[in-house]
Amino acid sequence: MKKIETKNAPQAIGPYSQAIQVGDFIYTSGQIPLTPEGELVGADIETQTHQVLKNIQAVLDQAGSDLTQVIKTTLFIKDMDQFSKINQIYGEYFSEHKPARSCVEVARLPKDVLIEMEVVALKKDK
């Protein structure tokens, strides 16, 4: 088991890692719309969704992977009425490669953000 850490995504705000690699699998912790410096971005779902996906990309990059290697995503969203907007942005990052996905509406997320996402990916072949 290997801990994955990058300064290009927000640091963990609790007792957890940005990601863990087990064999060829990478499991990210939930990413929320914070900049690498820890600042919350945007009050709208579009800005927050883009930042979450940028954070996921940064963690995967550090682990030697990328979005094309994602097997499964889980989205936690505050308002299911925002699903179509989230889906449109999500499709910009996952256009041809479409991993399995779950999406759940939740009552509240850390720092009262609108979206959180975690992924499971494979390490890229060298």
| Domains contained in the chain, CATH given | 2-122 (3.30.1330.40)
63: number of Cβ within 10 Å: 25
Closest CA to 110 of 21, 36, 29: 29
User: Tens place of pLDDT for every residue, the chain, 126 residues?
Assistant: 999 999 999 999 889 999 999 999 999 999 999 999 999 999 999 999 999 999 999 999 999 999 999 999 999 999 999 999 999 999 999 999 999 999 999 999 999 999 999 999 999 876
H or E segment and range at residue 71 = strand 70-77
Residue that is written with structure tokens 């889980």 in the block? 74
Report the distance separating Cα 26 and Cα 24, nearest Å. Answer: 7
Report the distance separating Cα 46 and Cα 25, nearest Å. Answer: 29
| Residue of 20, 40, 41, 103 marked catalytic | 103
Residue that is written with structure tokens 């600042």 in the block? 39
Instruction: Please say if 103 is a catalytic residue.
Output: yes
Give the three-class secondary structure for 43: coil
